[in-house]
Structure 1
Amino acid sequence: MLRELRMAHLALVDEAVLPLDHGLTMLTGETGAGKSLVAGALSLLAGGKADPKLIREGEDLAWVEGVFDLEQNEAALAACAGLGVRVGSDGVLVLRRELRREGRGRVLINGLVSSQALLEDIGGRLVAIQSQDQQRQLARPAFAREFLDAALGLDSELAAVRAAVAAHQAAAAALAGRQREVDFARRQQEIWSYQHRELVEMRLRDGEVEQLDEDLAVGRNARGLLEAAGRALQDLSDGQPAADALLGSAEKALAPLEQTSARLGAALRLVRDAEEAVGEAAADLRRFVDGLDIDPTRLDEWEERRAQYQSLCRKYQRDVPGLIALREELAQQLERQRSSVDDLRVLEDGLKAAAVEAATAAAALRKSRRDGAPNVARRAAELIRPLALPDLELRFEIEPDLYASGPIELDGSRCRLTGNGADLVRLRVRTNRGEAPGEVGAIASGGERSRIWLGLSVLADRQAERPLLLFDEIDSGLGMDNARPVAALLARLAEGRQVICITHLATVAVKGERHWVVRKAARGRRTVLAVTEVTAEERVQEVARLLGGSVTSAGPPAAQVAYARELLARPATSPATGI
């Protein structure tokens, strides 16, 4: 609910603060006093168009601010959380709109600069302004459908449709995705087959390139390697003198002295270790020289094999492990392509089954709408006729939302399918006896549309989704007597919620739980607006003024004042509507 509405430098308003509460609040004032400015301020908080002309003369900045208490509004809190707007533990949300004469205005949500789009999303959930111009929504199929579903309480049917639609969309997406894969695979099959065959025939082995590089290095330098190994072997073992012979002679010289000197014993051990190492090195060199028999043909084979690896790595831009992985990937792609026909058939069957489920849910929803629509139309007409519409007739037309390429078939026709079903719902009205029913926008006047909307709102009121409602000109064209049922319905609609009504009729104003008056006043050379709450005797005087007749500087005539007291003392229930 809106706890407080504040504004400054807006049109004729210097500064104004309106504390508000649950229930029905009435706003009155003389013609031209600026009552609709409150509607304009709320429109700004709901994301409405900001006109710099609204800025008070002589000021560069105007602003309007709404302090909302969302503690008991779980739907609004969930919406804020979903939009990334943080609301404090106290549930307070402050929306502020600034208008500048030059440059762009600003939007602030809980003190943080935000966007108009976000303000429109959040503010539009918290404030609904029902002026004559906005009653055009009655002609929208979406409005008629939403009202009918709410009046019939079709939440479970709608939930079933939405679940079925989600399943159908998921099945369609899975099939479309697999079909794209299959189409791509078919185009790529020849390429994949060639690449896979090429990699298989190569008989790739991880580590083979490194072995080939080593073998080729040895083969290309065989003569030099033989000469170097031969010289080393000559020095170590086969030459005169050779290292092993010299070490043997040294060992013989030191062996008898091993026990006489620790240092000589240590030297002897080093000589023996060196003799052993030289022997092992000579044996390795001899094996290397004996085994180094390079066949030129084999060397060519190694060269060719290494070139094949190099060519494939360059072609596929991968190393050998990457080529092995690619070979496996291609094998899997080809296997998937071979099984794609079966996969598609399974997915197609799944989509058909999902379409049947969706059609069943949509058909159940359509039946509930068609079965319940006549009773809802009758109840709504009975509720609205006392609102100066004695000949009103309402009718709901429920037709298939035909679409040749629609995903489901209902009653022999292909239809569009959304989370709201497969129907077009239109509201047809007749306001005068003898006329043919037609669209509400073409048949009803602005005031009639407002009263029709009021009656429908009462019938389909949904506590969890209730924003603040502001009615402007709902009593337009009505007299005091035939406005009584309108006032009674407003009072009923305001039970447990917040409703503000701008009115010029006393019989409507007295139904409010609170009453605010907009007055013009002169301040120096300027005119300003003052918005004040009236209670007790002040309210009696304002209601008396609304009754009309001559009003002198001393106030309304005594008879009007007495009648005003009588109206304010009457109980809230209206005999005309039984509300």
Structure 2
Amino acid sequence: MIKSLYIKNYALIDELEVSFGAGLNILTGQTGAGKSIIIGALNVVLGDRADTDTVREGTRKAVVEAVIGTGGRPDQVVGRLMDENEIDRNESEFILRREIRPTGSRAFVNDTPVNLSALRIIGDRLVDLHGQHDHQLLLKQDHHREVIDDLPAVRPAALTYKKQFEKVKNLRSELNRLQRRERELQEKMELYRFQLQELEAADLDPDAFEELESEMKRLDHAEELDEKAALVNYLGSESEHSLMDLMTRIEEAIQDMAGMDEEFGTYLNELQTAKVSVQELLSYAEQYRSRIEFNPDRLEELRRKQAEIRRLEKKYGLELSALAKYREEIRESVNLAENFDLELEKKQKEAAEAAGVLRDCAEKLHGARLEEGAELGKRISDTLRQLGIPNNRFETKVAWRHDNEGWIEIDGRPVACGSDGPDDVIFYISTNKGESPKPLASIASGGEISRVMLAMKSVIAREQHLPVMIFDEIDTGIGGAVAEQVGKTMHDLSKHCQIIAITHQAQIAGQADHHFSVEKRESDDRTVTRIIELDDEAHIREVASLMSGSEISEYALASARELVDRAKGR
């Protein structure tokens, strides 16, 4: 239940805090007093869109905070959201808060920042809020299916079906993609085969090409390399004053000097190391000369290979590494084309098997909708009789959605499947004896559609164990004995969940367990909205004012007292 609601700087409300009780909480007040503003603030804290114009003029931000008792552990969806958003666990209550600024808004659950989507999901799981325009939902057939699918006995079948539908949809998309790919490949196959033959004839290995260019460089400079290596050997060890001879003479001199001054010992070691390195270089140069290859034919062969690679790079507009990758891609395409029948057969088999499972899921969902829809219709019809429509018939019609493009077949006829199911779900109603039921959307009377909505909410609330229900003027188009019966129904429903309702009907207000008066006052040249909980006597006077207006007569007071006493004696 909603334990408390705090509103600050929101529209006409400067600051307001109200504590609601269990059972039926009724809000009354003059038109324009701010009752709908309070419900609007509740909508916002439950995740509805926040209009920045609602920030009270002259203030920095508006704040709406609701403390909602859970009566136990949250359901799996809410629990998962709490874990994902690292929301502090409090098994007994949630604190939802919304801060609205001219530049945007922020949302919090138990003081943890959350995105609006998470706040909306948590809010929907805790509170069912029926606004003034929600009657219109009953006139939309898509909403009828949502009502049925949200019933506990239907929801698992609906979720299983939807999951399998997505699987079949994905498989069919993959199959279509493969078929398009097959057509594209067949058109390009002659070109791909020619390109593959051309590219495979060339060595497109980047590492091998790098070695090819190195070998070309060596062959192209073979004579110069031989001359330089010979010069190194001559100057190092073969000339009259070779480098090795000079280094030996220097070594002997430093050796003598080191015997006289040990500081030269370090330089002696360094010279000996250098002498070893020079000797190794001379040995390598001599060996290198013996390996130098003078091979014009090999050089010409490498140049042809290099020219071919450069030609292919220019032709395809790709560097060597990308060219090698392209070769692999078209090789895969050619292999795929040559084995497409197997790929298609495999995917077609997968899609057919998944469609078979979808057919089973569709039949189970169809059956659940039929069974639970019939049961829901009976219970709504019973409730409508209590609400003053004695000769009503309420039915849920579930019909397969036949279409020649259907994914599955039922009784030999194709059925079009969508993410919402394989059938259409439509509510039918007759409110007068002897009339055949017609689609609910054909109801013109506001009073009748209000009672249908209340009956539906009443039945579904018991099914879904909703902790809180809010009604914003569900009494549209009714009055008198019908209004009193609506009030009784709401009070009976409030035994199963907390109800907060705005009404202008005395017969409904008289049923209140907790009655709140909303009024607009002038304060410091500003208009503000206030809400107060009425005691028993004030409750009776407020019911009387709903009967007779601002001038409360003794007759109205007596009638109000009788109405309230009758409600308490239930």
Amino acid of the structure 1 residue aligned with 2:156 = S
Task: After TM superposition, give the deviation of residue 158 of structure 1 in Å.
Answer: 1.9
Going from structure 1 to structure 2, the CA distance change for 1:170 and 1:22 (only over 3 Å counts) comes to farther
Choose from 94, 97, 106 the match for 2:97: 94
Normalising to structure 2: TM-score of the pair?
Answer: 0.77
Which letter does structure 1 place at the counterpart of 2:407? P
**Residues 436/152 of structure 1: CA separation in 2 closer, same or farther (3 Å cut):** farther
Kindly state the Cα deviation for residue 127 of structure 1 after the two structures are TM-superposed: 5.3
The answer for the alignment partner of 1:477 in structure 2 is: 478
1:472 Cα deviation from its structure 2 partner: 0.7
Indicate the residue corresponding to 1:567 in structure 2.
Answer: 566
User: 1:206 Cα shift?
Assistant: 6.4
Residue 276 of structure 1: how far off its partner (Å): 11
Per-residue CA deviation, residues 287-340 of structure 1 (Å, 9 max, x unaligned), is 766776735444322332333344445556777676666555544443233222
- Residue 383 of structure 1: how far off its partner (Å): 1.7
Deviations 1:399-434 (A, max 9, x none): 233444332333444333234321111112122234
Q: Which residue of 2 aligns with 1:69?
A: 68
State the secondary structure of the residue aligned to 2:390.
coil
CA distance in 2, matches of 1:114, 1:374: 40
1:339 is aligned to 2:339: yes
> What do you get for the CA RMSD once the two structures are aligned?
5.0
Deviation at 1:170, TM superposition (A): 3.2
Output the amino acid matched with 2:354: A
Structure-to-structure mapping, 1:123-134, within 5 angstroms: 128-131=128-131, 133-134=133-134
Deviation of 1:514 (Å): 1.1
Q: Determine the structure 1 residue equivalent to 2:255.
A: none
Native 8 Å contact 1:69 1:91 kept in 2: yes
Counterparts of 1:25-174 in structure 2 under 5 Å? 25-29=25-29, 35-43=35-43, 45=45, 47=48, 50=51, 63=62, 65-69=64-68, 71=70, 73-74=74-75, 77-78=78-79, 81=82, 89=90, 91-97=94-100, 106-110=104-108, 128-131=128-131, 133-150=133-150, 153-174=153-174
Q: 5 Å matches for 1:171-320?
A: 171-203=171-203, 208-225=208-225, 227-228=227-228, 294-312=294-312
Kept after mapping to 2: 8 A contact 1:70/1:77: no
Does 374-383 or 149-158 show the bigger shift? 149-158
Supply the AA of the counterpart residue of 2:492: R
Tell me how far apart the structure 2 counterparts of residues 386 and 398 of structure 1 sit (CA, whole Å): 26
Decide which structure has the larger Cα Rg and report it: 1
CA displacement, residues 221-275 of structure 1 (integer Å, 9 cap, x when unaligned): 4444555556666677888x6969989x99xxx9xxxxxxx99xx9xxx999999
Does the 8 Å contact 2:140/2:441 carry over to 1? no
CA distance in 2, matches of 1:368, 1:473: 30
Q: Is the 8 A contact 2:130 2:469 kept in 1?
A: no
Cα distance between partner residues in 2 of 1:32 and 1:216? 94
In 2, distance between residues paired with 1:8 and 1:142?
A: 38
Structure 1 17/417 Cα, relative in aligned 2: closer, same or farther at 3 Å?
A: same
Q: CA deviation at 1:483?
A: 3.2
Aligned pair in 2 of structure 1 residues 397, 547: CA closer, same or farther (>3 Å)? same
Q: Are the equivalent residues in 1 in contact too, given 2:7–2:64 (CA < 8 A)?
A: yes
1:257 matched residue in structure 2: none
* Counterpart for residue 574 of structure 1: none
What are the Cα deviations for residues 23-64 of structure 1, in whole angstroms up to 9, with x where unaligned?
320123456755444444445556368596x888x8678956
Q: CA deviation at 1:116?
A: 8.1
CA distance in 2, matches of 1:112, 1:198: 64
Question: For residue 259 of structure 1, what is the aligned residue in structure 2?
Answer: none
1: CA distance, partners of 2:311 / 2:467? 72
Distance 2:149 2:229 in 1: 98
In structure 1, what residue type is equivalent to 2:97? V
**Distance across 2 between alignment mates of 1:51 and 1:235:** 91
**Map of 1:576 onto structure 2:** none
Counterpart amino acid of residue 470 in structure 1 = F
Instruction: State how 1:12-31 maps to structure 2 within 5 Å.
Output: 15-29=15-29
- Following superposition, the deviation at residue 362 of structure 1 comes to 1.0
Q: Which moved more, 1:383-392 or 1:183-192?
A: 183-192
Q: Once the two structures are superposed, what CA deviation does each residue of 1:488-532 show, in whole Å capped at 9, x if it has no partner?
A: 321233234331122344442243221112345666888765421
Aligned to 2:381: 381
CA contact (8 A) 1:540 1:565 kept: yes
Contact residue 95 and residue 109 of structure 1 kept, 8 A: yes
- On the 8 A contact 1:7/1:16 being kept in 2, the answer is yes
Provide the rounded CA distance (Å) in 2 between the counterparts of 1:395 and 1:288: 100
The one-letter code sitting in structure 2 at the alignment partner of 1:569 is K
Contact 2:52 2:104 in 1 (8 A): no
Q: 1:93 is matched by which residue type in structure 2?
A: L
* 8 A contact 2:443–2:449 mirrored in 1: no
AA at the equivalent of 2:395? R
Inter-CA distance 149–211: structure 2 relative to 1 (3 Å threshold): closer
Q: 1:539 to 1:75 in 2, by over 3 A?
A: farther
Partners of 1:166 and 1:68 in 2: CA distance? 38
Deviations along 1:166-207, one digit per CA (max 9) or x if unpaired, are: 321232233244445444544543444333322332345665
* Structure 2 counterpart SS, 1:432: coil
Where do 5+ consecutive residues of structure 2 fail to align?
A: 253-258
Distance in 2 separating the partners of 1:210 and 1:402: 66
Question: Conserved in 2, the CA contact under 8 Å of 1:74 and 1:464?
Answer: no
Aligned to 1:538: 538
Q: 1:343-386 CA distances to partner (integer Å, 9 max, x unpaired)? A: 11110121122112212221232233334544432332122112
For residue 94 of structure 2, what is the amino acid of its counterpart?
A: G
Cα distance change of structure 1 residues 567 and 29 upon mapping to structure 2, 3 Å threshold: farther
Q: Among all aligned residue pairs of Structure 1 and Structure 2, give the percentage whose two residues are the same amino acid.
A: 23
Identify the residue that residue 500 of structure 1 maps to in structure 2. 500
- Residue 17 of structure 1 and its aligned partner are, at CA, apart by 2.5
**Would you say the 8 A contact 1:27–1:500 is kept in 2?**
yes
In 2: Cα distance, 1:342 partner to 1:458 partner? 57
Contact 1:128 1:469 in 2 (8 A): yes
CA contact (8 A) 1:427 1:439 kept: yes
Q: TM-score, normalised by structure 1?
A: 0.76
- Whole-angstrom CA distance in 2 between matches of 1:81 and 1:244: 83
Q: What's the secondary structure of 1:433's corresponding residue?
A: coil
CA distance in 2, matches of 1:246, 1:541: 128
Aligned to 2:256: none
Aligned residue pairs total 553
* Partner residue, 1:101: none
Mapped to 2, the partners of 1:30 and 1:131 lie a distance apart of: 18
Q: Which amino acid aligns with 1:383?
A: T
- Please state how far the C-alpha of 1:161 moved relative to its aligned partner: 1.4
Runs of 5+ unmatched residues, structure 1: 99-103, 255-261, 572-579
CA contact (8 A) 1:3 1:19 kept: yes
Is the 1:466–1:497 Cα contact (8 Å) retained in structure 2?
Answer: yes
Amino acid at match of 1:107: S
Letter in structure 2 aligned against 1:338: E
**Given the alignment of the two structures, is residue 5 of structure 1 paired with residue 8 of structure 2, yes or no?**
no
Quote the offset at 1:559 in angstroms: 3.9
SS at match of 1:25: strand
Quickly say closer, same or farther: Cα 1:435–1:233, change in 2 above 3 A: closer
Q: How far did residue 137 of structure 1 move?
A: 1.1
Q: 1:569 to 1:218 in 2, by over 3 A?
A: closer
CA shift for structure 1 position 470: 1.7
Tell me, what secondary structure is at the counterpart of 1:406? coil
Distance 1:514 1:232, change over 3 A: closer
